[in-house]
């Protein structure tokens, strides 16, 4: 499984509009073949930082997502609302194990 974690700094005056754009992106992305999950949240400690957590079956699914038209539209739409460049982190996961909570 491939996991991509993005941190997207949003301008505070753009948060409502950016939230709509991010939500549309998540809904469209979850429809793609090979996408296990795609979620967007806002950081509690830094409320203008959106966190995107993407889970894919394999690199082929990532490549398909990267070439999708809705990703291109998203990038064009979100850019005016960003405070600075996003940070992306990619992980290759061999096992996903549900852990017990506290």
Domains belonging to the chain, first-starting first, are 2-92 (3.30.70.100)
What pTM did the predictor assign?
Answer: 0.89
pLDDT in tens, 33-76: 999 999 999 999 999 999 999 999 999 999 999 999 999 999 99
Asked if 21 contacts 77 with a C-beta cutoff of 8 angstroms, the reply is yes
Give the largest CA-CA distance in the chain.
42
pLDDT in tens, 74-101: 999 999 999 999 999 999 999 888 999 8
């Amino acid at each position: 499984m491939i996991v991509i974690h993005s941190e997207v700094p949003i301008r505070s005056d753009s948060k409502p509009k950016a939230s709509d754009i991010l939500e549309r992106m998540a809904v469209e992305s979850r429809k793609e073949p090979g996408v296990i999950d795609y979620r967007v949240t806002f950081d509690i400690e830094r409320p203008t930082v959106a966190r995107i957590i993407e889970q894919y079956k394999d690199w082929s699914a990532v490549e398909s997502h990267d070439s999708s038209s809705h990703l291109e539209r998203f990038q064009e739409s979100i850019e005016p609302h960003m405070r600075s460049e996003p940070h992306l982190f990619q992980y290759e996961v061999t096992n996903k194990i549900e852990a017990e909570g506290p």
